[in-house]
Amino acid sequence: MPFQSGPTNIQQGNRASFVVEFLDSNGNLTVPSSGTLTITFTNTSNSTASTTIALTNSNSFFTGTWLLSSTAALGLATWEATAPGITSPAARGQLRIIDRDGL
């Protein structure tokens, strides 16, 4: 699946908020029992790291927030939204972690 967005710039130490809708194979809105956001990034030790965020359902929209700590190095991070019973990621994109001004 190609990236559906990004890379979107976000300053190191900030937060990234996500809103996801899940669609079935026919493109119709479906509301799964849960949703998960997985973000893979390079940490400041130059190793690959990932974090998984449980998404919260609110009227068929699933939301979640990634709090970028100082452990995320500058560079690209990839995210994917998944749900049980949906065989491929519902959405996939990239974030570009950039330096905070003045730090």
38 domain residue, yes or no: yes
103 domain residue, yes or no: no
What's the confidence (pLDDT) of residue 23? Answer: 86
For residues 68 and 15, the answer to whether their CB atoms sit within 8 Å is: yes
* Bridge partners for 76 per DSSP: 96
pTM of the complete model:
0.85
69 domain residue, yes or no: yes
Burial string for 53-92 (b: 16+ CB within 10 Å, else e) reads bebeeeeeebebebebeeebbeeebbbbbbbeebeebbbb
* Domain total in the chain: 1
For residue 68, give the CATH number of its domain. Answer: 2.60.40.1930
Alpha-carbon span 78 to 73, nearest angstrom: 13
Give 11-27 pLDDT, tens digit per residue.
888 888 999 999 888 88
15 domain residue, yes or no: yes
Q: Which domain holds residue 56?
A: 5-98
For residues 22 and 85, the answer to whether their CB atoms sit within 8 Å is: no
Give 46-97 pLDDT, tens digit per residue.
999 999 999 999 999 999 999 876 688 999 999 999 999 887 788 889 999 9
Alpha-carbon span 95 to 3, nearest angstrom: 11
